[in-house]
Amino acid sequence: MISPEKIWSSDQLPTLPAVAVKLLDLSKNPDTDIKEVIDTIKADPAITAKILKASNSSFFGLRSECKGIERAVPLLGTMVVTSLALSFSLSESAITQGPLKSRFDSYWKQSIIQSAAAELLAAKSGNDLKYDSFLLGLLQDIGHLAMLRSIPTDLLSVLEQAETEQRESVEVESAELGINHAEVGVKMMERWQLSEQFQTAIQHHHDSVAQLKSLESHPDFNLITIIATSAAIGDYFCSVNSGLALQKLQDLTSEFYNMPHDDLHGFLEQVQVRFEEAAQIFAVNMDDIESPFEIMAKANEQLVQMTMKAQVDTTQAFARQAVIEEQKNKLESENKQLQSKAIHDPLTKTYNRSYFNENFEKELYSCSRDAQPIGIIFSDIDRFKNLNDTYGHQFGDLVLQRVAKVASESTRRSDVFCRYGGEEFVIMVNNPTENGIRDLAERLRKLIENEVIEFEGARVPVTASLGAVVGIPPRDLTGFAERLVAEADEAMYESKENGRNQVHIRSIVSKNEQELHKLIKRCRFSRWLVTKEVFDIPTISKALLKCSKQQKQSRIGELAIAEKMLSENDVSKILELQELKGLRFGEIAIQQNFLTQEQTAYLLALQIEPPIVLGKTLISLELLESTQAAELIKQYLAEMKPCSIAADAHRNQLANS
């Protein structure tokens, strides 16, 4: 417990500048002359500049530019400019450095989110409270700011406890400190002589649904529910206990706004758009605030845990356990749907750029480890803006959907097709060759060109320009991803500049890498089986897709020792050189004449596609008997293993030649 006097006697409490105080007084008088408001603002050049900048932002969306404060104030209104002046003053109070910086940053971001949410909720209630709600949404946690500044150590331990125990902070504050930030906020409102309407709303902004329902006859009931709901939205976006916030938010929006749970997702997206616009006014970076879908997935996961814990704690009965399982399955199903939405483009139903970036990084690492090629195809619909302008955005959406469908259906299961942004699509091609990626890109180009897309019964020609690149990621991946994307993008623009509806291919694979890669392909067990006509290509391809990935891949040095191509001493020397030069093991071995290119290719083929793993898969698919598989592997190893001159003898031979 702490003495409230410790807060009120602190010299760190947030204060308002003279301009903000005078504007608050003027806003209370309905007969205030607009010129007096303008003169008051102009007394503070810093606030004048910020209000003028804000008036020209996308947040207010005024039709014409305001070049002076004399024009901005009448257009925005006294209440709005008062809100902005007060907001800019408070934002400075929330800027700090030191160990509590993240807490102050979080407080200010949550305040902006709450103000945007309160404004949108007010619009649902009829707009009368729109600007009051924006200001009050910003002020509702002013008590939290006051406590951060006056009793930081005491408050920090309470906030950490609330997060750990998954309880509302206001509840833990009351229990541990004897006072909570809502009560401190009301006191701050009294000090600043703000209206009783504001004080009442702040007093109840963490009330439960039942407590709020008991206030239905209160004259300020609409404002009270707006601020309480915006507080839950702020907690949902910013609190680590998003599950608790989601549960309360669903109850509030269902009870007071007749909002089904499914509609809540869409509303939260509107809030995100609005608070990102508001953040620009206050120069706050909101990049670390996750999307509603991502938060919803985490919140549902927390709710699963909370539901199970609460139910198991109260009863061990089978019937109750069945209810828990049902709730768990329902929430997990919803969670999967949300995760799917987070990685899919809502218009074309293909994967989105976020999914591409994540998988591109994984594939680069995998290809770097295995010295395998990776390819990217960029596709951009030709003259898409003209299509939109001529036939309308609905037709443009149809074109995007049809192109996405054609491309999705023509790519392999091992490739990843995504909408990259706007009218641009990207395909990450697995294990490509230069000719193979050219054929794929050309096939896509023709399919798009031949797709029949009609507007009012008449076919509209639609084409695309494509650019592709093939590369083998080096051991050090620094800058490689950016280079690969840039090369594919430039190849695509080369297609556009040369007349559109074309394909241009680039390769950043060196000649040595190309030769080695061809040798590796020839050495693979799957290729050998096809060459010997044991299986055809479709059958062996299906078997390869079924092959389980090894938990731990054999190192090429270990394979070389096992195959008696290198000694342990040779491997140690190559590893030392590898650390110095940053190259792959095989590159060093070839450069230093420890291995021939053929030997290296053979070892890499064994590493990438272990014959025993493929053999077991063929047995499990009932395509081979165990004895057949063993005999084929033995024959493959005998035929494909390059001349295994002992490493020392090989080097002596080279030295004497």
Annotated catalytic residues are: 423
Amino acid at 633: I
Whole-number Å distance between alpha carbons of 376 and 308: 45
CB 78 within 8 A of CB 133: no
Q: DSSP labels for 452-503?
A: --EETTEE----EEEEEEEE---SS-TTHHHHHHHHHHHHHHHHHHTTSS-E
Helix 242-257, helix 261-281: angle, nearest 10: 110
Q: Is the dihedral of CA 88, 91, 97, 102 positive or negative?
A: negative
Helix (H) or strand (E) holding 376: strand 374-381
Q: How many CA atoms lie within 13 A of 528 on its CB side?
A: 23
Q: 3-state SS of 377-389?
A: EEEEECCHHHHHH
Whole-number Å distance between alpha carbons of 345 and 481: 23
Tokens of 382: 């030709």
Whole-number Å distance between alpha carbons of 407 and 557: 41
Whole-number Å distance between alpha carbons of 324 and 315: 11
Contacts of 454 (CB under 8 A, 6+ apart): 460
Strand blocks (E) in 140-228: none
- On the 0-12 / 13-18 / 19+ scale of CB atoms within 10 A, 552 is exposed
The pairing of strands 458-459 and 454-455 is antiparallel
